[in-house]
Amino acid sequence: MFQLLRCDRVGRGATALLVAAGLLGSAAWRAEAEEPIKIGLGMALTGGLAAVGKSGLVAMQIWEADINAKGGLLGRPVKLVFYDDQSNPSTVPGIYTKLLDVDKVDFVVSGYATNMVVPAMPVVMSANKLFIGLFALAANSQFHYPKYFSMLPTGPDPKIAFSKGFFDVAMALTPKPKTIALVAADAEFAKNASDGARDNAKAAGLKIVYDRSYPPPPATTDYTPIVRAIQATNPDLVYVASYPPDSVGMVHAITEVGLKGQLVGGGMVGLQITVNKQQLNTQLNGLIDFDYWTPAPTMMFPGIEDFLKKYQARAPAEGVDPLGYYLPPFAYSDLQVLGDAIAATKSLDQDKVADYIHGTGFKTVVGDVRFGKDGEWDKPRVLTVQFRGIKSNDIEQLKSPTTEVVLDPPEYKSGQVIQPYSEAKK
């Protein structure tokens, strides 16, 4: 009797232990299932690039909300972990080290833009992590890192593609231009852009009559002497490679000096930002620049209008670019690619996800995207545009594609170039 009772008690105790273990295991499984998939990044939320960076973060947060509303990824919610890089490249290595070593994020993506992506690369590479760069011009050209991907439509030869449209438009002019002035900030992006412009100029048979760089802000605050020096060489074309703070200063100086030429502009980052367009308004007229998306009918890709509607509804409260035409669609698409790859592979394995991205095309709000050499887009799609017809700082006119006319590529063209620059300004 005693033996039977003891066995019965032991049996009941074992059963209780098994049930408890099962409950604990179930709870552990639920905890793991509910643990968010963390995506880490640094972003320019203060400093000279913040006007663009903050708009990109809002776009990423919209993707985060969209994907979580659909149930997240792999049955788990998604969480963005981000820090302010202060528009300062020196902060970037520390941010990505913290994201990987302390926050233990599952994936990392970059902030905006080239100058912030390049210093992150060695940290990400040493951790053997997949990395998607956002608006980084040729950031992988020196590393050739196989798990890097670029959300920038400059194609497999980004330095050349970035300015090719400017030169294609220029060399179709009558009379055909013969000389060009090149000026660039002494910084990572501008160096890459001016290298490509220099190669395109030589290929076009143009004589380079001015080719100099200047220290970026805050070292340079007055651009008038630079523009006067360019004017003294009497170039047919003027190609400027600049970042947002110096782009605004350069436009003011170009207007003040009354710079002449057949085409002026080319690689000026920041003129795509709504607040800068409003500030500069009529001074923009006639300038040539690059862009990646405009509200032209040829660029209304599936999903873009819905995304912009969400973004523009949030923009006033967030204090960001009210239109969101420049970085936001690409910041959203950046995470669309990563999310789709995670879902398709059903994995957080860096190699599996990277291999899938290499071999697959993606449907995004900025159109079809496929990656090629060095993780760049397999085909370039840099727009060459001309500002015209801007009469004031009224934001409504900036919603019209007629104030930013697409000149190149031909399949997205929305108007003919007006030249020379002095005539186009009218």
Name which CATH class applies to 158-291+388-424.
Answer: alpha beta
- Is the bond leading into 420 cis (omega within 30 degrees of zero)? yes
User: What pLDDT, on the 0 to 100 scale, is given for residue 34?
Assistant: 79
User: What pLDDT, on the 0 to 100 scale, is given for residue 6?
Assistant: 36
- Joined together, the tokens standing for residue 253 give 């100086």
User: What pLDDT, on the 0 to 100 scale, is given for residue 33?
Assistant: 56
Q: What is the Cα–Cα distance from 419 to 426, expressed in whole angstroms?
A: 10
Assess whether the region 34-153+299-375 and the region 158-291+388-424 belong to the same CATH fold: yes
Q: What is the pTM of this model?
A: 0.86
Helix (H) or strand (E) holding 183: strand 179-185
Name the CATH topology of 34-153+299-375: Rossmann fold (3.40.50)
φ/ψ of 385, rounded to 5, equals -125, 160
Q: What is the Cα–Cα distance from 274 to 50, expressed in whole angstroms?
A: 13
- HEC string of 371-414 equals ECHHHCECCCCCEEEEECCCCCCCHHHHCCHHHEEEEECHHHCC
The low-confidence residues of the chain, meaning pLDDT below 50, are: 1-11, 13-32
Q: Which residues of 107-130 are buried (b: 16+ CB within 10 A; e: fewer)?
A: bbbbbbbbbbbbbbbebbeeeebb
Under 8 Å between Cβ of 194 and 268: no
Q: What is the Cα–Cα distance from 210 to 229, expressed in whole angstroms?
A: 9
Q: What is the Cα–Cα distance from 112 to 134, expressed in whole angstroms?
A: 6
User: What pLDDT, on the 0 to 100 scale, is given for residue 5?
Assistant: 36
Burial of 21: CB neighbours in 10 Å, binned 0-12, 13-18, 19+: exposed
Under 8 Å between Cβ of 219 and 185: no
All residues at 6 or more sequence positions from 12 whose CB lies less than 8 Å from its CB, including other chains: none
Under 8 Å between Cβ of 167 and 204: yes
Helix (H) or strand (E) holding 3: helix 2-34
| C-alpha separations of 316 from 47, 66, 199 in Å | 20, 20, 42
- Joined together, the tokens standing for residue 35 give 């643990």
Q: What is the Cα–Cα distance from 325 to 275, expressed in whole angstroms?
A: 12
Domains of the chain, residue spans: 34-153+299-375, 158-291+388-424
Under 8 Å between Cβ of 398 and 365: no
User: What pLDDT, on the 0 to 100 scale, is given for residue 14?
Assistant: 45
